[in-house]
């Protein structure tokens, strides 16, 4: 008899961490399939796979992603068969289809219901491809590559009983044929743990300390790339530093091996390319790298203004955490932000390609820090109303119950073993 939930994610737990922990705490049997780098979750048995081969040399370029996804799918299939042989029969499979692991699972569990997490459906026009031609020209190759990325993703989605997208923007990227299956459920952040609070002295990597009350601009960009507006933000800084001589800038993130928007054209680091020739006071520009989460939250409490720019792409957790922290958010007027920020109500939305307007907004934030407190309060209220992990978790549990998973209420859950 089918019982339990199987999670499938290339980097499990990924977006499913909170849901998996909740189900385990409620006594629901859970297992997971992930790649060899998956961290796992306590109480969830994980089957990790290692790729047994790479892609074919000299393969047709537009088939590279599809072949890689099929290879991952076939490896996930082997793990699924091991679970099946051990008697595991999930009632529902919750998975991220973006890397191909979901594609063959109905061969093992044809009766299991499938919930697929739609993080992003690629398009050749109207989203990230061609949005910013400065570094990546909208060539035919780029457009066809975007189409081809969807090959196995789209095929996987045809097996979904429900599709969960975190935001309305991410849901809107899906083709019309999938729209009737979509539920918008943001996994959210812990708005009880992440709250506004008094700023504390902030230690810098060089041993200096930023005192509360100092004008501080915060910015977070996982892979330090143009996809999140690094070049626009950087170009706004010289004027800010000139006009506000005591302003400090905290930048969180570190150049990654696989940035969302591709590698820098010179083969080097985006950070080096973008900041190379800008007249900036290095003593007030602080690259924090991939800092501990607690340090990022401490910076948010210190922040005079937090900058979040993005191409039309996935909305970052860092934005929601900044809002929950009561930051004054200055964002780009691009579609993903419209799900979180309303200009002049709970933050600002500015033209993406206009660093001068951004610098002016940052200067005003530093000169009149109390003048934007109403936006801070409203940002916090929005985070609580729209992006609470508690509300997101309840919506996920409701969906799983609709699909037949027996999930006890919290007060009826089995006591945790000690």
Per-residue pLDDT of 266-302, as tens digits, reads 778 899 999 999 999 999 999 999 999 999 999 999 9
Tell me how far apart the alpha carbons of residues 376 and 372 are, in angstroms, rounded to a whole number: 7
Question: Residues 13, 40: one domain?
Answer: yes
At residue 413, the pLDDT reads 55
Domain that holds residue 360: 202-386
Angle of CA points 80, 89, 51, to nearest 5°: 10
Predicted local confidence at residue 1, as pLDDT: 55
Q: What is the CATH number of the domain that holds 265?
A: 3.40.50.2000
**Cα-Cα-Cα-Cα dihedral of 225, 346, 369, 296, to 10°?**
-40
Q: What is the DSSP string of 126-138?
A: SSSTTT-TTTS--
* pLDDT one-digit tens code per residue, 68-83: 999 999 999 999 999 9
Q: How confident is the model at residue 52 (pLDDT cuts 50, 70, 90)?
A: confident
Average pLDDT over all residues of the chain: 94
What is the predicted pLDDT for the residue at 416? 41
> Are 11 and 159 found together in one domain?
yes
Distances (CA, A) of 307 to 41, 213, 229: 32, 18, 9
Query: Do 255 and 347 belong to one domain?
Result: yes
217 and 327 assigned to the same domain: yes
Residue 257 confidence (pLDDT)? 59
pLDDT digits (tens, 9 = 90+) for 341-376: 999 999 999 999 999 999 999 999 999 999 999 999
Note whether residue 345 is domain-resident.
yes
Mean pLDDT of the region 162-169: 98
User: What separation in angstroms does the CA of 328 have from each of 274, 363, 386, 390?
Assistant: 25, 13, 17, 24
**What pLDDT score was predicted for residue 418?**
27
Whether residue 256 is predicted with pLDDT greater than 90 in this model: the reply is no
**195 lies in some domain:** no
**pLDDT-derived band of residue 412, with 50, 70 and 90 as boundaries?**
low
Give the range among 125-139, 246-260, 309-323, 344-358 with minimum mean pLDDT.
246-260
Across the range 382-390, mean pLDDT stands at 97
Shared domain for 44 and 143, answered yes or no, is yes
Q: Is residue 253 part of a domain?
A: yes
Q: Does 261 share its domain with 376?
A: yes
| pLDDT band per the 50, 70, 90 thresholds, residue 131 | very high
Give yes or no for residue 114 having a pLDDT over 60: yes
One domain, residues 209 and 160: no
State the pLDDT at residue 338. 98
Q: Tell me: pLDDT of 407 over 80.
A: yes
Please report whether residue 144 resides in a domain: yes
pLDDT grade, residue 387 (50/70/90)?
very high
Say yes or no to pLDDT of 258 above 70: no
Residue 124 has pLDDT above 80, yes or no: yes
Sign of CA dihedral 22, 27, 28, 33: positive
Do 267 and 342 lie in one domain? The reply is: yes
Cβ pair 7, 13 in contact under 8 A = yes
**Residue 197 falls inside a structural domain:** no
Q: Given phi > 0 = left and psi -120 to 50 = alpha, else beta, which region is 130?
A: left
Maximal C-alpha separation, the chain: 69
302-341: pLDDT as tens digits = 999 999 999 999 999 999 999 999 999 999 999 999 999 9
What does the buried/exposed string (b/e) look like for 315-326 if buried means 16 or more CB atoms within 10 Å of the residue's CB?
bbbbbbbbbbbb
Residues 82-104: pLDDT tens digits? 999 999 999 999 999 999 999 99
Classify 94 as helix, strand or coil.
Answer: strand
Task: For residues 329 and 406, state if they share a domain.
Answer: no
For residue 137, name the pLDDT band (cuts at 50, 70, 90): confident
Average pLDDT over residues 119-135: 94
Task: Supply the pLDDT for residue 415.
Answer: 43
Same domain (yes/no): 67, 212: no
Q: Count the residues in the chain.
A: 418
Is the Cβ–Cβ distance between 31 and 41 less than 8 Å?
no
Same domain membership, residue 309 and residue 255: yes
Distance CA 327, CA 216 (A): 11
Kindly state whether residue 322 falls inside one of the protein's structural domains. Answer: yes
Structurally, how many domains does the chain consist of? 2
Q: pLDDT of 224-235, one tens digit each? A: 999 999 999 999
For the residues 388-396, what does the mean pLDDT come to? Answer: 96
* Same-domain status, 319 and 342: yes
Q: Is residue 194 part of a domain?
A: no
Residue 7 φ then ψ, to 5°:
-100, 140
- Asked whether the predicted pLDDT for residue 411 surpasses 70, the reply is no
pLDDT at residue number 55: 83
Taking the C-alpha atoms of residue 262 and residue 217, their distance in angstroms, rounded to an integer, is 26
Residue 415 domain-assigned?
no
């Amino acid at each position: 008899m089918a019982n339990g939930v199987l999670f499938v994610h290339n980097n499990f737990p990924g977006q499913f961490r909170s849901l998996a922990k909740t189900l385990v705490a409620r006594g629901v049997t859970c297992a997971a399939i992930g790649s060899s780098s998956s961290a796992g979750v306590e109480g969830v048995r994980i089957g990790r796979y290692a790729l047994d081969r790479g892609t074919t040399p000299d393969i047709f370029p537009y088939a590279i992603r599809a072949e890689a996804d099929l290879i991952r799918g076939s490896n996930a299939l082997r793990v699924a068969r091991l679970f099946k042989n051990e008697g595991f029969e999930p009632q529902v499979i919750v998975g991220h289809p973006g890397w191909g692991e979901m594609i063959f699972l109905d061969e093992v569990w044809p009766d299991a219901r499938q919930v697929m997490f739609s993080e992003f459906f690629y398009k050749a026009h109207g989203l990230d491809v061609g949005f910013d031609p400065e570094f990546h020209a909208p060539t035919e190759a780029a457009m066809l590559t975007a189409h081809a990325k969807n090959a196995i993703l789209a095929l996987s989605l045809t097996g979904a009983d429900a599709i969960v997208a975190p935001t309305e923007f991410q849901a809107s990227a899906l083709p019309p044929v999938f729209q009737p299956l979509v539920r918008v459920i943001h996994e959210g952040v812990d708005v009880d743990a992440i709250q506004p609070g008094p700023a504390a002295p902030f230690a810098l990597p060089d041993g200096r300390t930023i005192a509360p009350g100092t004008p501080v601009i915060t910015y977070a960009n996982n892979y330090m790339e143009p996809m999140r507006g690094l070049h626009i933000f950087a170009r706004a800084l010289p004027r800010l530093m000139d006009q506000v001589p005591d302003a400090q800038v905290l930048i969180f993130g570190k150049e990654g091996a696989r940035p969302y928007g591709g590698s820098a054209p010179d083969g080097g680091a985006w950070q080096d390319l973008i900041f190379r020739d800008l007249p900036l006071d290095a003593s007030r520009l602080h690259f924090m790298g991939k800092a501990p989460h607690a340090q990022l939250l401490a910076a948010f409490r210190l922040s005079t203004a937090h900058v979040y720019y993005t191409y039309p792409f996935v909305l970052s957790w860092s934005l929601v955490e900044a809002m929950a922290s009561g930051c004054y958010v200055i964002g780009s007027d691009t579609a993903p932000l419209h799900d979180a920020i309303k200009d002049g109500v709970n933050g600002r939305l500015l033209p993406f390609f206009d660093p001068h307007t951004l610098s002016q907004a940052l200067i005003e934030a530093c000169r009149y820090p109390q003048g934007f407190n109403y936006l801070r309060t409203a940002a916090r209220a929005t985070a609580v109303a729209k992006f609470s992990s508690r509300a997101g978790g309840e919506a996920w549990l409701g969906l799983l119950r609709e699909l037949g998973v027996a999930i006890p209420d919290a007060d009826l859950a089995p006591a945790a073993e000690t």
